Amino acid sequence: MAKIKIIWGGAPWTGSASPPPQPVIADGWKFFTADEAALTEAIADRLIPADDLSIGGKEAGCAVFIDAQLAGPYGKGTYLYLDGPLKQGLPQAGQQFSEGPGARWRKGLSAFESAVKVQSGGKRFVDLSGDAQDALLRQWEAGTLSMPGVDAKQFFTLVLWNVREGFFSDPIYGGNKDMAGWKMVGFPGALYDFRDYIDKPGQALDIQPVSFVRKQT
């Protein structure tokens, strides 16, 4: 019987058919408005505050990472099924949406800021103290913060997930400045192999992480 050869991406296939990722340059917001960006940075800085272990979410560029992602295929939901019928299935099947993450972020940030102003006498989230911001984030996470038209807990999960991605993704995508997230957890990054370290179990290796940015320059 003849063997079947499967070729992805057209023929002829070559090992270098996929272009390398292009570095995200922080040269202006691509998706966020200035107010949305400031709010996202403030949220990121409370979800991942600076301490003696690492820089905070804002300095790490989490908002820059998220902005670039929302401006691209991820934000548009290019790889998601967004058509109906929208019926909630089993819990393990996850949520169904008619809009991509970009639209959900825009609607959610607006609802969150409105909810903040109701509770703070008209003040914006960015103008509140850290303790006041944390209290509002706890309400948001618990789903007790009234955000009409938006599932608060669901949106909080999306924001938290994206902030984490920005803090731990390769710096080529705009976040994880100076590989701060990797250095904090001891992740080596995009090293070719680890043959030099295999015979050193239990030892402090002090591996300096490597980013795609560095590999391409």
pLDDT by residue (tens digit) across 111-165?
999 999 999 999 999 999 999 999 999 999 999 999 999 999 999 999 999 999 9
Residue 206 maps to a domain: no
Residue 156 maps to a domain: yes
Residue 45 maps to a domain: yes
What is the percent of the chain where pLDDT is above 90?
62
Residue 92 maps to a domain: no
The helix-helix angle for 34-47 and 152-168 (nearest 10°) equals 80
Q: pLDDT value at position 97?
A: 83
What average pLDDT does this structure show over 170-184? Answer: 95
Q: pLDDT value at position 12?
A: 57
Residue 110 maps to a domain: yes
Element (H, E) at 213: helix 212-216
Residue 170 maps to a domain: yes
Distance CA 59, CA 125 (A): 18
Q: For 51-107, how does the pLDDT look when each residue is reduced to its tens digit (9 = 90+)?
A: 999 999 999 999 999 999 999 999 999 888 888 777 777 777 777 788 899 999 999
Residues composing the chain: 217
The whole-chain average pLDDT of the chain stands at 88
Distance CA 136, CA 131 (A): 9
Three-class SS state of 6: coil
Residue 66 maps to a domain: yes
pLDDT at 217 over 50: no
Three-class SS state of 30: coil
Residue 11 maps to a domain: no
Give CA angle at 115 (156, 134), nearest 5°.
55
The domain in which residue 44 lies consists of 34-77+97-185
Q: pLDDT value at position 74?
A: 94
Tally of CB atoms within 10 A around 126: 15
CB contact set of 36 (below 8 Å; sequence gap of 6+): 29, 106, 109
Domain count, the chain: 1
Distance CA 125, CA 137 (A): 10
Tally of CB atoms within 10 A around 105: 24
